[in-house]
C-alpha cells in the first residue's frame, strides 16, 4: 500500500495535528505525515511535531506584508518539496485564496468548531451560547473557496450545559475534535467520503 503523504498546517499549539499524526502511526493507516507547516515561527505545534519525528517548515506571513499570493506561493513550494498528496488544516488561521484552494481541490480538509452550517467564521463557542443552543459541536469539511462551506465529511456533537462559558465549551469540545478529525481523515485518505457522526 502506498501511503498518502500528508501535510498538516497549523498556527498554534497543534493539538488536532497531534491527534492526526498519532493516528497515522498505525502502519495500516492509508496516510503518513510528511510535513507540519506553520505561518508562525513560535507555534507550539512545531516542537511537538519535531518530537514526533515529523519534518517542519515555517512560512511567516508577516514577511509578506499583505501579499497573500506570494505567501501562498512559498507555502506551495514547501508542500511540493515534501511531495505532499493531501493537506489537513488544523488551526491554520489564514484565509486562503481561491487559487491556492483550487491547487489542492479535493485533497484538503479543515476542522471547524461548530455544527456547520451554523456559526461559520470565528468566536463559535460564544455565538452558540448567545444563540441559546442546546447542542454544540465540530465539523470536518473539504475546503472550498467559500469560507467553512465545503462538503461536510463528519460532525461531532456535545450537549451545552447551563453553566457553560465559551472557554468551558471549547475545552469540552476539544476531545471530540481529536476523535472526529482522525476518523474522517482515515476514510478520506482512501477516497471514502461517507460522513462520520459522533456524539458524546
Residue 189: which pLDDT band, with cuts at 50, 70 and 90? very high
Q: Domains in the chain, please, with CATH?
A: 1-104 (3.40.50.170), 110-200 (3.40.50.170)
Q: The cell 454544540 sits on which residue?
A: 136
Angle between helices 44-51 and 15-24 (to 10 degrees): 20
Q: What's the pLDDT tens digit per position in 105-135?
A: 999 999 999 999 999 999 999 999 999 999 9
Report helix, strand or coil for 168.
Answer: helix
CB atoms within 10 A of CB 37: 25
Rounded to whole angstroms, the Cα distance separating 55 from 63 reads 22
Report helix, strand or coil for 132.
Answer: coil
Q: What is the pLDDT of residue 177?
A: 98
Residue 117 buriedness (CB in 10 A; 0-12 / 13-18 / 19+)? exposed
Rounded to whole angstroms, the Cα distance separating 109 from 63 reads 26
Please give the distance of CA 47 from its chain centroid, rounded to a whole number. Answer: 18
pLDDT > 90? residue 170:
yes
The mean of the pLDDT values for the chain is 97
Q: What's the pLDDT tens digit per position in 59-88?
A: 999 999 989 999 999 999 999 999 999 999
- The answer to whether 180 touches 153, Cβ cutoff 8 Å, is no
- The answer to whether 133 touches 101, Cβ cutoff 8 Å, is no
**Residue 141 designated active-site:** no
Nearest 5°: CA angle at 120, between 200 and 167?
A: 55
pLDDT > 80? residue 156:
yes
Q: What is the pLDDT of residue 188?
A: 98
**Dihedral sign of CA atoms 196, 6, 96, 131 in order:** positive
Active-site residue (options: 112, 125, 141, 178): 112
Judging by DSSP bridges, how do beta strands 56-58 and 31-38 pair with one another? Answer: parallel
Amino acid at each position: 500500500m502506498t501511503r498518502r503523504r500528508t501535510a498538516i498546517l497549523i498556527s498554534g499549539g497543534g493539538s488536532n495535528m497531534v491527534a492526526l499524526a498519532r493516528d497515522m502511526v498505525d502502519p495500516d493507516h492509508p496516510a503518513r505525515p510528511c510535513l507540519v507547516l506553520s505561518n508562525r515561527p513560535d507555534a507550539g505545534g512545531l516542537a511537538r511535531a519535531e518530537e514526533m519525528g515529523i519534518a517542519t517548515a515555517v512560512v511567516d506571513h508577516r514577511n509578506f506584508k499583505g501579499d497573500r499570493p506570494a505567501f501562498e506561493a512559498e507555502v506551495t513550494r514547501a508542500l511540493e518539496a515534501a511531495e505532499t498528496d493531501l493537506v489537513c488544516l488544523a488551526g491554520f488561521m489564514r484565509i486562503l485564496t481561491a487559487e491556492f484552494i483550487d491547487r489542492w481541490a479535493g485533497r484538503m480538509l479543515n476542522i471547524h468548531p461548530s455544527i456547520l452550517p451554523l456559526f461559520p467564521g470565528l468566536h463559535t463557542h460564544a455565538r452558540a451560547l448567545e444563540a441559546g443552543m442546546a447542542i454544540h459541536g465540530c465539523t470536518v469539511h473539504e475546503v472550498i473557496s467559500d469560507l467553512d462551506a465545503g462538503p461536510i465529511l463528519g460532525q461531532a456533537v456535545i450537549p451545552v450545559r447551563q453553566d457553560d462559558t465559551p472557554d468551558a465549551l471549547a475545552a469540552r469540545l476539544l476531545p471530540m475534535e481529536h476523535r472526529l478529525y482522525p476518523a474522517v481523515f482515515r476514510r478520506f485518505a482512501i477516497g471514502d467520503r461517507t460522513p462520520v457522526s459522533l456524539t458524546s
